[in-house]
């Protein structure tokens, strides 16, 4: 909830710190390809996009897309959504 509030008021520095901490914790406890870890990567990717940090967002977009494809399958709606996110990042 703290990350959501920080995002709402535009404090992306705090959002990034919380997001990075959550990602590290989930990787350590759940594994690199757990769905909750994937959600953390996706949230951090969005934070980078909101900050205009396109290269970092692109890197995470690719990571989410590749991981979604492996874990969920290439035709899963979440995988297709991750492809659209990558395309949007490239367009921006």
Query: Who has greater pLDDT, 11 or 70?
Result: 70
**What CATH number is given to the structural domain containing 58?**
1.25.40.10
Given a contact cutoff of 8 angstroms between Cβ atoms, the answer to whether 7 and 44 are in contact is: no
Mean pLDDT of 23-39: 94
Neighbouring CB atoms inside 10 A of 74's CB total: 11
pLDDT at 72: 95
* Structural domain count of the chain: 1
pLDDT at 92: 86
Q: Round the CA-based radius of gyration of the chain to a whole number and report it.
A: 13
The domain in which residue 30 lies consists of 2-91
Query: Who has greater pLDDT, 13 or 48?
Result: 48
Output the 3-class SS for 14-54.
HHHHHHHHHHHHHHHHHCCCCHHHHHHHHHHHHHHHHCCCH
Task: Give residues with Cβ within 8 angstroms of 83, minimum separation 6.
Answer: 65
Asked whether residue 80 carries a pLDDT value surpassing 80, the answer given is: yes
């Amino acid at each position: 909830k703290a990350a959501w509030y920080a995002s709402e008021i535009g404090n992306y520095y705090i959002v990034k710190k919380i997001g990075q901490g959550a990602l590290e914790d989930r990787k350590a406890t759940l594994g690199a390809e757990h769905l909750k870890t994937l959600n953390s990567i996706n949230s951090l990717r969005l934070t980078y996009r909101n900050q205009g940090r396109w290269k970092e967002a692109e890197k995470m977009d690719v990571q989410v897309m590749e991981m979604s494809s492996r874990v969920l399958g290439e035709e899963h709606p979440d995988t297709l959504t991750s492809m659209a996110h990558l395309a949007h990042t490239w367009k921006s």
